[in-house]
Amino acid sequence: MRITRTASAVLFAAMMALPVGAAAQTLTIGLQAEPSSIDPHYHNLTPNNALLRDIFDRLILPDETQQLKPGLAESWKALDDLTWEIKLRQGVKFHDGSPFTADDVLFTFERAPNVPNSPSSFAIYVKNKKVTKVDDHTIHITTEKPYPLMPNDLSTFSIISKKHGEGASTGDYNSGKAAIGTGPYKFVEWVPGDRIILQRNEDYWGDKPAYDKVVIKPIKSGPARVAALLAGDVDFIDNVPTVDINRLKKEGKVNVMDSISNRVIYLHLDQFRDDSPFVKANGGGAIKNPIRDVRVRRAMSMAINRDAIVERVMEGIAIPAGQLLPKGFFGVSPNLKPVKYDPAGAKKLLAEAGVPDGFELTVHGPNDRYINDAKICEAVAQMLTRVGIKTKVETMTKSVFFKRASRGGPDNTPEFSLVLVGWGAGTGEASSPLKSLLMTYDKSKGYGASNRGRYSNPEMDAIVVQALSTVDDAKRQDLLAKATEIAMNDVGLIPLHYQISTWASRKGVAFKARTDESTVISTIYPN
């Protein structure tokens, strides 16, 4: 199915007719994962967020190390314990020429947490905030308690046009009808599975991107992406396969760029159902869900050899994980280390929990979202099977997986019993994964939006809430670390490893590797 914006065919034809000299200003990119939508609020997912930030600006922009820089907001300050004042940039225009004002920000706050059928919403960043228009370029945001992370939250979601967004569906964004932003690139065309085309916004308020036109090709296969780069079919690729990194570094015509990321790859476990759909007794009969017993969860974590996954599955391009973020990020606990591989200890815990012979289990995961995701699922299944938890693997495309993992069960509950997922801390600190992955699911407050195991620990919840209203940085750091320790000791989820993100380009094209894994197209430049 062809998806285009009105008049996009004419614009595309005009660009294709550009003289040969102008063609040099076209950048062709091969991405592992294309977005699941052009709607910037449909799915809080890195491939979506990375691409769409070039079409729809944010109030505050995180740089390559997630330091905060002015975006559509020129400045921000706390007026008192409960009120933030945001001064909006003047003179900014949407791609259709209409002015950007405070009304667009207010409309964004209303829409972002309420997109129908969202697999993972932005509610954790916009809920519990009252936004008031002071004038066309000033807003006040108030909270019930002091909230020092306001600037971090404002750096995580895109601002949309009220004019084009009122009454618009996700389909209207996908078609291009509503895809009118203020970003450095204009949306031209999306042909799902084939290409996305962007055109430089000549009226952009900030530094204009280097390339007139960008052609984005989804190339799921890692070897195919590398082959396309070496053949000159694309200028730039993301998610370089781990097996090819050393070879590419020796190529004289290729640049390789990498950075440790803020993404943890982890397992979510069903902790809210006694009858879990993919947990069975040996032989396939019914069994009361043993995963709800912390001893079983600890046994599962001890059964996983993280070092082996990093060395053999990830080719050394990862770091074993013991918590939600790697060392150096805000809110990390110095007391948590990766759980030691101990299959004998795991079997002992299973016996203590009343399942000495184990049980049957299925692990579900995507096969086109994270680095070597399907292979990681296979490795985890083999390790669990060795301690008596006879584990099968079922992987699927991310578009199918996230819908089922989030709301594929009865009454839109999570469908699976054990899932492999990843989480990148969009705010660059520990409250992001704590709020979304581990706090008790509460749609009204935006907590637990991606808590697909429905883990719940009131003690941890209370500490996170306290941290979110603690202005003193040192005290907030300690509270977030304490909450993380509670969740990890209770095995709210099982962290496996932190990804190292790698990009490659032909000589003459450069990019600053980012901790948030985002391929921000407007920051790719010739060198």
What is the pLDDT at residue 181? Answer: 98
Same domain? For 145 and 48 the reply is yes
Residues 31/521, Cβ–Cβ less than 8 Å: no
Average of per-residue pLDDT across 428-450: 93
Could you tell me if residue 247 is inside a domain?
no
Mean pLDDT of the chain: 93
Domain-located, residue 461: yes
Q: Is the pLDDT of residue 478 over 80?
A: yes
pLDDT bracket for residue 155 (50, 70, 90): very high
Q: Are 108 and 160 in contact (CB under 8 A)?
A: yes
Predicted confidence band at 248 (pLDDT cuts at 50, 70, 90)? very high
Minimal CA–CA distance to 29: which of 173, 206, 213? 213
Instruction: Determine the average pLDDT of the residues in 381-397.
Output: 98
Residue 30 has pLDDT above 60, yes or no: yes
- Let me know whether 110 and 200 are in one domain: yes
Task: Pick the more confident residue, 66 or 93.
Answer: 93
The verdict on residue 233 lying in a domain is: no
Q: Is residue 237 part of a domain?
A: no
Co-location of 190 and 268 in the same domain = no
Say whether pLDDT at 22 is over 80: no
Domain extent for 51? 3-218
Confidence band (pLDDT; 50, 70, 90) for 13?
A: very low
- The CATH number linked to 390 is 3.10.105.10
The answer to whether residue 242 is domain-embedded is no
Q: Is there a domain that residue 254 lies in?
A: no
141 and 89: one domain?
A: yes
The string of pLDDT tens digits covering residues 32-47 is 989 999 999 999 888 8
Query: Going along 51-194, which residue ranges are E strands?
Result: 60-62, 68-70, 73-80, 83-88, 130-135, 138-142, 185-191
On whether residue 89 sits in a domain, the answer given is: yes
More confident residue, 52 or 16: 52
Per-residue pLDDT of 265-275, as tens digits, reads 999 999 999 99
- From the list 148, 147, 174, the residue with the least C-alpha distance to 40 is 174
In angstroms, how far is CA 414 from the centroid of its own chain?
18
Same domain as 204, residue 277: no
* β-pair partners for 499: 318
Q: Which two tokens stand for residue 128?
A: 């519990």
Q: How does residue 11 score in pLDDT terms, banded at 50, 70 and 90? A: very low
Percentage with pLDDT > 90 across the chain: 86
Q: Is the pLDDT of residue 381 over 60?
A: yes
Judged against a pLDDT cut of 80, whether residue 7 lies above it is answered with no
Assigned domain for 196 exists: yes
Same domain, 457 and 348: yes
Picking from 101-105, 226-230, 366-370, 387-391, which range would have the lowest pLDDT averaged per residue?
366-370
Assess whether 174 and 274 both reside in one domain. no
The answer on pLDDT for 20 being more than 90 is no
Q: What is the pLDDT of residues 277-292, one digit of tens each?
A: 999 999 999 999 999 9
For the entire predicted model, the pTM comes to 0.77
Q: What is the pLDDT of residue 196?
A: 97
* Confidence band of 405 (pLDDT split at 50, 70, 90): very high
Query: Which are the contacts of 334, defined by CB distance < 8 A and separation ≥ 6?
Result: 481
Q: How far is CA 496 from CA 308, 344, 361, 384, 438, in A?
A: 11, 19, 18, 14, 16
What is the per-residue pLDDT for 19?
34
pLDDT 10s digits, 494-512: 999 999 999 999 999 999 8
The answer on 196 and 274 residing in a single domain is no
Helices (H) and strands (E) in the chain, counts: 18, 21
391 & 489 share domain: yes
Count of domains in the chain?
A: 2
Place of tokens 């990498």: 258
Helix runs in 340-489, H state only: 343-352, 373-386, 398-407, 431-433, 458-468, 473-489
CATH value at residue 203? 3.40.190.10
The tens digit of pLDDT for each residue in 77-123 reads 999 999 999 999 999 999 999 999 999 999 999 999 999 998 888 98
Domain boundary among 191, 218, 245: 218
On whether both 276 and 413 belong to a single domain, the answer is yes
